[in-house]
Chain A
Amino acid sequence: DAGITQSPRHKVTETGTPVTLRCHQTENHRYMYWYRQDPGHGLRLIHYSYGVKDTDKGEVSDGYSVSRSKTEDFLLTLESATSSQTSVYFCAISEAGTGNLYGYTFGSGTRLTVV
């Protein structure tokens, strides 16, 4: 999607290894989010950021950490990957201030498989 890219698009990793997913935006939006999407659960918020170095937990944050050292990058790290973290991960961005008037812009997703 224009203005937001996720990398990698696909990844297979082994149980117990750390994994980092990257979200990069060129829109200079203040807010960034990480969601996971699983069949039967829809999208669930993992972590979000409301500014550089300002992050907070979502509803399914256990086993995940995030960092935001620059406005444009939001990293999601699985500290020790487990099979239950096999999922499709989406990053989203929204504008500050006008966030209540506009929706989120989503990346194309990262399909992560933990074997």
Chain B
Amino acid sequence: SQQGEEDPQALSIQEGENATMNCSYKTSINNLQWYRQNSGRGLVHLILIRSNEREKHSGRLRVTLDTSKKSSSLLITASRAADTASYFCATRGGGANSKLTFGKGITLSVRP
């Protein structure tokens, strides 16, 4: 069963605009991660935020985590056509052998 649920399912924006994607989850987590998948390729890890963190930055990416609302958001600033991809949130519970559980993904299209 999916732990993370992304919203919206699809997003289309103009190059240069910011893209905001949301993820909600149901049970307590150790960390939450965001991945990108280009068409026909494997997933690429973008950023990880731990349950005791509220915000994290990496280049043009900003991720927030609100554990009280069980939600996270990924912001991509100044989007580029190359950002066109599917984005997935994934949650990891506690325990050494805990696994990542992925959402269904968000399709982002950035128009040149």
Chain A residues with CB under 8 Å of chain B are: 1, 33, 35, 40-45, 48, 50, 56, 58-59, 90, 92, 96, 99-109
Partner of A90, one of B31, B43, B46, B92: B43
Interface extent on B, as a size class?
20 to 34
Which chain B residues lie closer than 8 Å to A106 at the CB level?
42-44
B80 within 8 A of A: no
Interchain residue pairs with CB less than 8 A apart (16):
A1-B42, A1-B44, A33-B99, A41-B2, A42-B88, A42-B105, A43-B43, A90-B42, A99-B96, A103-B33, A103-B45, A106-B42, A106-B44, A107-B42, A109-B41, A109-B42
Chain B residues with CB under 8 Å of chain A are: 1-2, 30-31, 33, 35, 40-46, 48, 50, 88, 90, 92, 96-97, 99-105
Q: How far is the CB of A74 from chain B (nearest CB, A)?
A: 14
Partner of A100, one of B35, B88, B90, B92: B92
A-B contact count (CB 8 A): 59
Flag if B100 contacts A104 (CB, 8 Å).
Answer: yes
Which chain B residues lie closer than 8 Å to A108 at the CB level?
41-42
Tell me the interface secondary structure of chain B in the complex: strand
Q: With A and B bound together, what is the CA distance between A101 and B45 in angstroms? A: 12
List the 6 closest A-B pairs by CB distance, nearest first: A103-B45, A106-B42, A42-B104, A43-B102, A106-B43, A108-B42
Flag if B101 contacts A45 (CB, 8 Å).
Answer: yes
Flag if A41 contacts B43 (CB, 8 Å).
Answer: no
Flag if B102 contacts A48 (CB, 8 Å).
Answer: no
Flag if A100 contacts B97 (CB, 8 Å).
Answer: no
Which chain A residues lie closer than 8 Å to B46 at the CB level?
103
